[in-house]
Amino acid sequence: MSFVGLLQAAAALTVIFSVITALNIRHHSIELFSHFRLQYFVVSVLLLLVFAALQNPQFSLALLIAAILNGVLIVDWYRPLKGESSGDQNLKLMHANVLARNHQYQRLLDLVTEEDPDMVFLQEINHDWLAGITSLKSEYPHFYTEPRAGNFGIAVYSKLPFDSVLHVDSPPLNYPTIAATVSIGEKQLTLVSSHPTIPLGKKQHAARNEQLDSLAKWIQGADAPVVLLGDFNASVWDPRYRNLERSTGLHNARRGFGVLATWPTYMPFAMIPIDHVLVSEGIGVLNAKTSKSIGSDHLPLIVTLSL
């Protein structure tokens, strides 16, 4: 195959994946390709320039359509929500998937010191991690930990006292979900941290979806405003993620602040936004950003809310 032929094959695949993943097709294999909207946009723009230079109108038109489609789906995350309310109480949160086999505990501790969040939510926590960050308790005396030997342990550290805190073993794999309720001024807030499984293969895809569905049902019955945090193993363009937003009425704190890709740090060009902070209507978002690396394959998310 000639070099131009290879470019044509790359263009055809880019257009096909751009279009098919924009459709509401709920199949585990197709959904895996829905996460790479940024990459499709960059590749479609670059190939469009190439085929325009080659004066190939058919491929140029197809790539232009793909670039516009991907661009529209990306730029939406840079538009702030209209009429978002805010209050006089601020709450700064950190969410971090620390990577269970990562042993660079001090990098997390240094980041917490630098950012000074009110609450820190950690995922992939095991007993080694609890031992490595035990000094966190001096500044965050209120904490709840549920370490696990695999990649699905979880913990929360807080400067604010809990009104209540517990964990539930979420279906179907019994991975822990933490729910903590705190009072901020006269307002009560429930914060939920959960980490569904990686959706590789039909069974794991179904298991991830079942855990997301269980979270949606729990949130639908919550009395207080909710903040839902976690590595959902689903990007903002995944149909199952979009269903979570629709069914709960929550919105993503990154909206208006950009895509904020978080994983995988070892492949920067392939990074996708699978870590999330979702908030109830009426909770304002003052800032949302990713932070520097802590040695994990995920970047932490830092979000400042207004209540």
At residue 246, the pLDDT reads 95
**pLDDT per position as a tens digit, 95-108:** 999 999 999 999 99
At residue 23, the pLDDT reads 86
Q: Which CATH superfamily is domain 90-306 in?
A: Endonuclease/exonuclease/phosphatase (3.60.10.10)
**pLDDT per position as a tens digit, 171-191:** 999 999 999 999 998 889 999
Read off the pTM: 0.95
Q: What is the 3-state secondary structure (H, E, C) of 51-117?
A: HHHCCCHHHHHHHHHHHHHHHHHHHHHHCCCCCCCCCCCEEEEEEEECCCCCCCHHHHHHHHHHHCC
**The pair of three-digit structure tokens given for residue 208, joined into one six-digit string:** 């991830």
pLDDT above 90 for 292 = yes
**pLDDT per position as a tens digit, 262-276:** 999 999 999 999 999
**pLDDT per position as a tens digit, 60-78:** 999 999 999 999 999 999 9
* Orientation angle between helical segments 57-75 and 37-53, nearest 10 degrees: 150
pLDDT above 70 for 86 = no
Domain ranges for the chain, please list them: 3-78, 90-306
Least trusted range by pLDDT, from 84-93, 127-136, 187-196, 258-267: 84-93
Nearest to residue 306, comparing CAs of 179, 192, 185?
185
At residue 84, the pLDDT reads 60
Name the amino acid, one letter, at 287. N
**pLDDT per position as a tens digit, 16-39:** 999 999 987 778 888 999 999 999
At residue 83, the pLDDT reads 58
Region 159-163: mean pLDDT is 97
Please count the other Cβ atoms lying within 10 Å of the Cβ belonging to residue 244: 23
CA count, 13 A, side-chain hemisphere, 139: 14
